[in-house]
Chains A and B, each alone.
Chain A
Amino acid sequence: MNGEVPSWEAVARTHGRFLYNVAYRLTGKDDDAYDLVQEALLRVRKGLETYQPGSMEAWLSRIVTNVFLDEVRRKRRRPVEVMPEDPERLLPSAPGADEATESLSDDVQAALRRLPEEFRTAVVLCDVVGLSYEEIADAISIPVGTVRSRIHRGRRLLRAALQ
């Protein structure tokens, strides 16, 4: 490893907060975000040797997003059986007593979480991380035109949910 590539520990220490924020906006749950970050950091450890010095946050966004999308695909292949006694899973968007005083950011996060994962990923990478369309296309291996369409449709759904 040359001197320009940081150690894994340094990446985790310096960019852990950034990773967690992106993971939370993608998953909408603290526990899921934590697990996502752990898996992402594992991939960072394995992939650090191949890291090309540049935008560390773009590189980390790519990793955490792909961990998220891999998990989404895995769940689609093997959907989790919903237990009838678990109302949170049956009605993820139903407001509970604790949410009566939720702030606007909670409303936005709830609407974000209800977006289809592909739209949510594009919106988070654009509006939370701040990547360009080309960087997003590169991160999740889709054409730039598809990025534009997903961002727009995601925003339209968000707007409808927040009205």
Chain B
Amino acid sequence: MSPAPPDFGGHLDDVLSAYLDDELAPAARREADAHLAGCADCRADLHEIGSARHAVRILPVRTTFRPLVDPDWEPASAAAHRRRARAAWALAAAVAAAVAMVLPQDPEVAPSLPSMAGSHAARASITGDPLSQLAPIAVPVRFGP
């Protein structure tokens, strides 16, 4: 005895999508065909659902010009190489800083311009040098007689 045909209980409804997608077992498909042959509503519904299905299936492939692979990404081996290089540079910088701290430093070797001006002004103030204290920033230019 063959299994009882599926009972769709009224109209086909979501069986229609399965019908269109060829997702029905042979017995269910035969039953759906029989129902469709006698049901104008379901035939109209099948047409409507088929139109929506077709509209999505013919959508063009969407593309982008942006690179999908992250440009910052690199293979693990390259990342390890970069980490080793960074560590070597950090070590070299630490050694240089340590050497700089050990070497004697002479602040008078290359004083900055502001400190030179500051020390000169301080000396001028103490010694009362009027030329230094009263020297104009710029000499006015006079025209005519």
Contact = CB atoms under 8 A, between A and B. Distances in A.
B42 interface: no
A48 to B, nearest CB: 13
B55 interface: yes
Contacts of B13: 152
Interface string B53-68: 1011111111110101
Interface in B17-72: 17-18, 21, 23, 48-49, 51-53, 55-64, 66, 68-70
Contacts of A158: 52, 55-56
A69 interface: no
Contacts of B55: 104, 108, 158, 162
A61 to B, nearest CB: 14
B64 A152 contact: no
A109 to B, nearest CB: 7
Nearest to B16: A152
Interface residues of B, number: 27
A153 interface: yes
Interface residues of A, number: 38
A41 B70 CA distance: 10
Given A9-B69, A20-B62, A21-B61, A148 B52 contact: no
Interface of B: 13-14, 16-18, 21, 23, 48-49, 51-53, 55-64, 66, 68-70, 75
Interface of A: 9, 12-13, 16-17, 19-21, 24-25, 30, 33-34, 37-38, 41, 104-105, 108-109, 112, 123-124, 126-128, 132-133, 148-149, 151-153, 155-156, 158-159, 162
